[in-house]
Structure formats: C-alpha cells, structure tokens
Amino acid sequence: MPVNVFSLLPQELESRLAQFPAFRYRQLLHWLYGRFVFAPEHMTDLPLTLKDYLLENLSFELPQIALEKAAQDQTTKYSLSLTDGENIEMVIIPAPKKRTLCVSSQVGCARKCSFCATGRWGLTRNLSAAEIVGQILIAASICKPERLTNLVFMGMGEPLDNLENVLKTLQIIQANNTLAFSPRRTTVSTCGIPQQIIKLADSGIKTKLALSLNSAINAKRDNLMPINKIHPLEEIKSALKYYLKKSTFRVTLEYILIPDINMGKDDIKALRQFAGDLSCKINFIPYNIVPHLPYRSPTEIELQEFLQQAQSLHQAITLRRSRGAGICGACGQLAGNHQGVTP
C-alpha cells in the first residue's frame, strides 16, 4: 500500500523524492503545508512525471468532513469520516486574535472517565499520524486567510495512549518547512499515565502538558477517573515533577467543576496540597452536560462561591468557560457521530 504523505517527516519525504531535483521536494511541501492543496493534479508547477510518481507511490488521503455544526459564537464542530468508515470529531474555536483546534488522537477512548461522552463509547483504535496531521491541515485550510494559531490535544481519545503517533505529528507540524507550529501554542492533555508522561519528557519534542485532574482526593478521583485506581495521585505527581525538570513550560491542571462532587472546602484543601510545590496553573472548567450522565453544571452562584474559596491557592487560576456546548462540542462532549451532529 502507498505510504500516506501526511505521515512523513520532511526528511522522509525528501528521501522518497531523491530522484527528482531538490527544489521539487520544496515545492511539494509548499503546496501541502503552505497553500493547503492536497491533490497532486492541482499542483500547477509540478511536472507530469512527478505528479505520476506521487500518485503511484504515495497516498494523499485525508479525513473527509461528513457533517459540521456551528454554535452562535462560531465555534464549529466537524464530524470526520476516516477511510475505514470510522468517525471522529474535531472542533475549531475562533477568537479575535487566535484560532484553536481541538484535535482527536483516537477513535473513542479506553479510559472511561465517568463524566465524558467519549469514555462511554470505549476505544476502537488509535489514529495514525496521517489522520492527526490531516485534522490539523483541514482546520488550517478552513481558517484561511487567517492562521490556525493554537492546537490542543483535548478531543477524542487519550493522547498518551497513542504517544508514538502524537509525537510524530508534533515533529511534522513543528518543522520549519511545514507549518512551523509553535510548541508554546501546543498542549497535550492526559488523564495521567506516569510512564507515558516520562516518555514524553524524554522524547525531546517540545509541547505544553495538561493534566485532567478533576480531584486531588484519591477516593473521589477513583470514582471520576478509573485510571486513578491504577496510577494514584502520588505517582502522577512524581511524573509531573520529572516532566517539569525537562521542560521550560508550566503544567496546566484542568479541573472540571461538578457540584456535590468536587467543589467543597476539602477539595480546595487537597488541591492546594497537590499543587503547592508544582510549577503549574489551574484551569477550572464548569461541567458540560452529557446526556444520560448523572452530573449537572454548576450554577453561577456555586461558581462564584467556589472561585472565592480558590483564591487561597498559590497558583494562577482561570475559569475557562467551554465554548460549543450547545452543539455538543465542548469539553467532555465529543463522541464521534454518536451525538447526532446535523449540518
């Protein structure tokens, strides 16, 4: 089977085109990553011999947009069909000076977090590097003439369960002759897998890291996130400290606020103890409703009371109100085509 061109590092693509003049390789990269033209037949300055070679020896297949739905704030969720018939979702979140892509790394997820729609689905398979890069290129093309500025691996799946392909994706898009995507504007989120956090740190590939924490009390986190029964908070914190020794970036602690679950005084106390000696910031995220799950979103009064208590924390804190909840495109709501996305 032909290798997918979007799975190749620039140097790997150059090697495959060694029989052609070097400038042809640079032209091809510019078509793919500069102009977002993905079909060789539309690359007008490439000779026919090169086009024929590309079509015969490489695949240019990308995920296909099956459905899309935009919220009032223009946050847009895209359901993408893959070549094997599976579906994933990505979300583009526009803002005045930035455009963020929430990208998926797996079809489904094996981690079964109790508050997450994707977790209810279970894991079907990992996405290939080409399928992850493909999402980014599709989003960059949609954003034209503006630039896609931020990338968060917070879509479907646990990125560190597909670490090899996530790392290759980062290598591809960070290359100077592709997208030159800034590590400072890239965040990989995890439910907390210590050995994979250490592998990420040791890889030498730069990215920001976010931990989906949601409780700093082991018993509560056990109920919210089954991974905690395997890797409790003490193990995760040790891995975060290792990552921080290797990285110039702070860690982000993501904390979904669920009334009657993790918004009490004991929760603040435990969070203060967990985060006290970490170089981190804390994002509080009001829970987004997922049908058939036994949780509710906090009221505005509950939010303000909690944030007032949270002022005792020593880290920078932010209340991040998820966008796209009305189209099931917010944090924890992505579930492929299982959420009834309509055009």
**Active-site residue numbers?**
89, 331
Contacts of 308 (CB under 8 A, 6+ apart): none
Residue among 68, 136, 112 nearest 339 (CA):
68
Structure tokens belonging to residue 16: 């495959």
Buried b (16+ CB within 10 A) or exposed e, 105-116: bbbbbebbbbbb
User: Which residue's entry shows tokens 């002022």?
Assistant: 311
Distance of CA 229 to the CA centre of its chain: 24
Contacts of 328 (CB under 8 A, 6+ apart): 77, 117, 334, 335, 339, 340, 341
Contacts of 332 (CB under 8 A, 6+ apart): 113, 115, 116, 117, 118, 256, 287, 288, 290
Task: Write the burial class of residue 51 (CB in 10 Å: 0-12 exposed, 13-18 middle, 19+ buried).
Answer: middle
Beta bridge partners, 285, equal 256
Beta bridge partners, 78, equal 68, 90
CB atoms within 10 A of CB 312: 11
State the Cα–Cα distance between residues 336 and 330, nearest whole angstrom: 13
Which amino acid does the sequence have at 196?
Q
Buried b (16+ CB within 10 A) or exposed e, 239-274: bbebbbeebebebbbbbbbbbebbbeeebbebbeeb
Asked if residue 96 has a cis previous peptide bond (ω within 30° of 0), the answer is no
